[in-house]
C-alpha cells in the first residue's frame, strides 16, 4: 500500500473513534428537537409489494442504531420496526411506483439541552433501546434516500436492485455495503460526524461521490476491480493500494489531491468511479 507523505509543517493524524462524550453544541439541537416526550415506544410498518414495479424510499433522521437490509419475503415491499422517542412521520403514495417516507419528527430549537431532555440523553446512552430495523424488497428497482441522525448506521444493501443512493450522515459511525446490481448506478454520500466505512461488492459498476465531514473514510474495493479515484483533499492523508497508480496531481501542503487509476482502467466494462472531497479526516482505500 502506498502512502502520501505528510507535510513537515502540518501533520494531521485522524484515528477516529466516535464517542458520545465528544458531542458539540450542534448535537445538542438533536436532543432539544425531541421535545418533552421521553417514553420509548415501539411501532411497526409494512407495505405490500401489491403490483409495484419500482419504489422510492426515504428515511429521515433517526435517533439510535439504524439497520437497513434486503427482505426475504417476496410479497413485501417495505418493513420497519422502530423503537423511538417523540413522534414519527410515515406516509406512502403511488401504486405502480411507490414513494415511502419514514422519519423522526424534529422541532428544531437553538441553545443548550433543556432540563426535560436530560433523562432522554441518559436513555440514549443505552443505544440498544433506541433502534430502527428496516427491510426493503429486492424484487423491484429502488431509489434510496437515507438521512442519518444520532447513532450507528448499518446499511447492508446486498441484493437490492439499487438505482440510486443518497446518504446524508449524522452523528455516529456509518457502515455501508454497496451492491452489484448488473447496471451502473450512482451513490452520493455526505458524511457527518463519525467515521464512514464503505464496502463495494465484487461486480459492482457505480459512480460514488463522497463529501467528507468530520471523521475518516474507509472504502474497501473488490479485488481486480477497475477503479478511478479522484481526490480533493481536506485535512487528512490519502492512502491507496499499491496497484493504483497516480495519473494526475502531486502532494499538497495539507493532505493530498490527485487522480489514481488501476492498470487498464479504460478497457474494463465494469468501472468504479470514486470522487472524494475531504473534510476533517483522511481517506483510506483498501
Structural domain contains residue 262 = yes
**For the chain, what is the mean pLDDT?**
80
Question: What's the pLDDT at 251?
Answer: 54
Asked if 143 and 196 sit in the same domain, the reply is: no
Structural domain contains residue 101 = yes
Asked if 149 and 216 sit in the same domain, the reply is: no
Structural domain contains residue 103 = yes
Which of 156, 185, 200 terminates a domain? The answer is 156
Query: pLDDT band at residue 33, thresholds of 50, 70 and 90?
Result: low
171 has which bridge partners? Answer: 150, 193
List, for residues 197-255, the tens digit of each pLDDT value.
Answer: 999 999 999 999 999 878 889 999 998 899 999 988 766 678 888 888 888 876 554 44
Query: pLDDT band at residue 126, thresholds of 50, 70 and 90?
Result: very low
Number of compact structural domains in the chain: 2
Structural domain contains residue 2 = no
Task: Return the higher-pLDDT residue of 223 and 55.
Answer: 55
Asked if 143 and 34 sit in the same domain, the reply is: yes
Question: What's the pLDDT at 143?
Answer: 98
pTM for the model stands at: 0.81
Asked if 44 and 144 sit in the same domain, the reply is: yes
Mean pLDDT within 167-178: 90
Residue range(s) defining the domain that contains residue 135: 20-156
Asked if 286 and 236 sit in the same domain, the reply is: yes
Of 133-142, 174-183, 229-238, 249-258, the poorest mean pLDDT is in: 249-258
Structural domain contains residue 197 = yes
Structural domain contains residue 180 = yes
Neighbours of 101 (CB within 10 A): 15
HEC string of the chain equals CEECCCCCCCCCCCCCCCCHHHCCHHHHHHHHCCCCCCCCEEEEEEEECCCCCEEEEEECCCECEEEEEECCCCCEEEEEEEEECCCEEEEEECCCEEEEEEEECCCCCCCCCCHHHHHHHHHHHCHHHCEEEEEECCCCEEEEEEECCECCEEEECCCCEEEEEEEECCECCEEEEECCCCCCEEEEEECCECCEEEEECCCCCEEEEEECCECCEEEECCCCCEEEEEEECCECCEEECCCEEEEECCECCCCECEEEEECCHHHCCCEEEEEEECCECCEEEC
Asked if 107 and 186 sit in the same domain, the reply is: no
The percentage of residues in the chain with a pLDDT greater than 70, rounded to a whole number, is 76
Asked if 151 and 179 sit in the same domain, the reply is: no
Which residues, at least 6 apart from 234, have a Cβ–Cβ distance to it below 8 Å? 212, 255, 277, 278, 279, 280, 281
Asked if 129 and 212 sit in the same domain, the reply is: no
Q: Which three cell numbers stand for residue 99?
A: 414513494
Structural domain contains residue 165 = no
Asked if 115 and 184 sit in the same domain, the reply is: no
d(CA 70, CA 68): 7
Structural domain contains residue 206 = yes
Asked if 125 and 151 sit in the same domain, the reply is: yes
Asked if 79 and 132 sit in the same domain, the reply is: yes
Beta pairing, strands 141-147 & 54-59: parallel
Contact 38, 70 (CB under 8 A): no
Asked if 204 and 263 sit in the same domain, the reply is: yes
Which of 126, 156, 186 terminates a domain? The answer is 156
d(CA 54, CA 140): 5
Residue 112 has pLDDT above 50, yes or no: no
Amino acid at each position: 500500500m502506498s502512502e502520501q507523505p505528510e507535510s513537515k509543517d502540518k501533520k494531521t493524524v485522524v484515528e477516529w473513534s466516535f464517542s458520545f462524550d465528544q458531542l458539540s453544541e450542534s448535537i445538542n439541537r438533536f436532543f432539544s428537537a425531541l421535545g418533552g416526550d421521553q417514553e420509548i415506544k415501539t411501532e411497526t410498518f409494512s407495505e405490500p409489494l401489491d403490483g409495484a414495479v419500482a419504489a422510492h424510499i426515504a428515511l429521515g433522521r433517526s435517533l439510535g442504531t439504524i439497520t437497513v437490509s434486503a427482505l426475504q419475503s417476496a410479497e413485501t415491499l417495505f418493513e420497519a420496526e422502530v423503537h423511538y422517542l417523540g413522534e414519527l412521520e410515515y406516509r406512502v403514495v403511488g401504486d405502480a411506483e411507490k414513494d415511502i417516507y419514514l422519519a423522526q419528527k424534529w422541532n428544531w430549537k437553538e441553545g443548550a439541552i433543556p432540563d426535560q431532555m436530560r433523562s432522554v440523553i441518559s436513555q440514549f446512552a443505552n443505544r440498544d433501546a433506541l433502534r430502527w430495523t428496516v427491510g426493503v424488497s429486492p424484487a423491484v428497482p429502488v431509489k434510496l434516500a437515507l438521512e442519518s441522525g444520532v447513532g450507528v448506521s448499518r446499511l447492508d444493501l446486498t441484493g437490492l436492485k439499487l438505482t440510486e443512493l443518497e446518504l446524508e450522515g449524522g452523528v455516529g459511525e456509518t457502515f455501508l455495503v454497496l451492491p452489484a446490481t448488473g447496471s451502473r448506478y450512482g451513490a452520493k454520500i455526505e458524511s457527518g460526524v463519525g467515521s464512514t466505512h464503505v464496502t463495494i461488492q465484487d461486480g459492482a459498476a457505480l459512480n460514488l461521490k463522497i463529501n467528507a465531514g468530520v471523521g475518516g473514510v474507509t472504502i474497501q474495493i473488490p479485488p481486480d476491480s477497475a477503479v478511478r479515484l479522484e481526490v480533493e483533499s481536506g485535512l487528512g492523508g490519502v492512502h491507496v493500494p499499491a496497484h493504483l497508480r497516480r495519473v494526475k496531481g502531486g502532494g499538497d501542503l495539507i493532505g493530498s489531491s490527485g487522480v489514481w487509476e488501476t492498470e487498464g482502467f479504460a478497457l474494463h466494462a465494469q468501472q468504479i468511479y470514486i470522487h472524494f472531497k475531504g473534510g476533517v479526516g483522511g481517506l483510506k482505500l483498501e
